[in-house]
Amino acid sequence: MRQNNKIHSLEKLAEVLEPLRARKRIVHCHGVFDLLHIGHIRYFDQAKKMGDILVVTITPDRYVNKGPHRPGSGLRELRCRK
């Protein structure tokens, strides 16, 4: 499945995925991913091999407390990466 608009609210994500659940294996990765690095990429690659569709969700900045000036990249910057 190729979606042009890959960024959804949780409600919209559930709506998009529901018809696919019967015929596709959906893999879900969740995290902060504020400093995206090779470990994250490997994690996504391995997860994708476990199913047909990879869904990545990101913890909102307001719930992240990793110390001063963290998260390093805010949710807005991460959403711009495609």
pLDDT of residue 61: 77
Is the model more confident about 51 or about 4? 51
**What is the spatial distance between Cα 70 and Cα 62, in angstroms, rounded to a whole number?**
11
| pTM for this prediction | 0.70
- The encoded tokens of residue 50 equal 């476990």
pLDDT of residue 32: 86
* pLDDT tens digits along 24-81: 999 999 998 877 889 999 999 999 999 999 999 988 878 877 777 665 555 555 554 4
Residue pair 40/58 in contact by the 8 Å Cβ criterion: no
